[in-house]
Amino acid sequence: MKDAMKKFFSITGIVLLFVVALGLIFNEPLKEFAVSHMSDRFLTSLTADKVKKNEKKKANYDFKKVKPISASQVAKASVNNSAVAIGKMSVPSVDLYLPIVKGLSNDALSTGGGTMKANEKMGKGNYALAGHYMTNKGVLFSPLENVQLGDKAYITNMRHVYTYKVYFKKVVPPTAVYLIDDSPGKKLLTLITCADGGTNRWAIQGSLVKTQKATHKSLAVFTK
């Protein structure tokens, strides 16, 4: 009886996942909802212990393997749940609240902002994150289009909170990879997403203005 029940629930689960996948493929709003749901799930469940554990995991940084976000990819990411969260990010002025995920895998970039270089350290060097632009202004990195100079951007590894002030915003060609390089003596946050339908890139940069311990009060900036 138990084996039969297990088989039933297993088959039911597969059917449900198939239905969800089909729904995502044929329904754009549902796709955006799924992305938002994945992001929120990682945000609410993240702890300092999880970050410490996830920081040790390997990740993919191959730019060439990054594909435009699609309904099928979102469905796959929903099933795989393989993104590795190592922090949180927020730009409250444009209602951007996302998990920071390790690497540039398609599952990771369907969930949040992905680290663009191996061994990046928050609060040091040039901490660079990439994210997808979607038609809905409130999903993934889409809100960055509305960022203004002087806005504050925040990142945390659940041990410290780092505050950056935006001083640079520009549409650049995909070849402008120098923007993610470290600059001697500078502590930067660089955020990259698509512009002009994917032809170019939005590049937003901020300089570190404050570092503080992660407390209930300081982590409030990552709550919608």
| Residue 64 confidence (pLDDT) | 79
Helix (H), strand (E), coil (C) string for 188-209:
EEEEEEEEHHHCEEEEEEEEEE
Q: What is the pLDDT of residue 24?
A: 46
Task: Please state the rounded mean pLDDT for residues 195-210.
Answer: 94
Read off the pLDDT of each residue in 165-192 and give the average, rounded to a whole number.
96
Domain 2-222 coded CATH 1.10.10.1100: no
Per-residue pLDDT, averaged over 174-190, amounts to: 95
Q: What percentage of the chain carries pLDDT values higher than 70?
A: 87
Task: State the Cα–Cα distance between residues 214 and 107, nearest whole angstrom.
Answer: 27
Burial class of 199 by CB neighbour count within 10 A (0 to 12, 13 to 18, 19+): exposed
Host H or E run for residue 85? strand 85-91
Domain ranges of the chain: 2-222
**Pairwise pLDDT comparison (134 vs 81), residue with the higher score:** 134
Taking the C-alpha atoms of residue 114 and residue 119, their distance in angstroms, rounded to an integer, is 13
- What's the mean per-residue pLDDT of the chain? 87
Catalytic sites, residue numbers:
132, 194
Question: Given this model, what pLDDT does residue 26 score?
Answer: 45
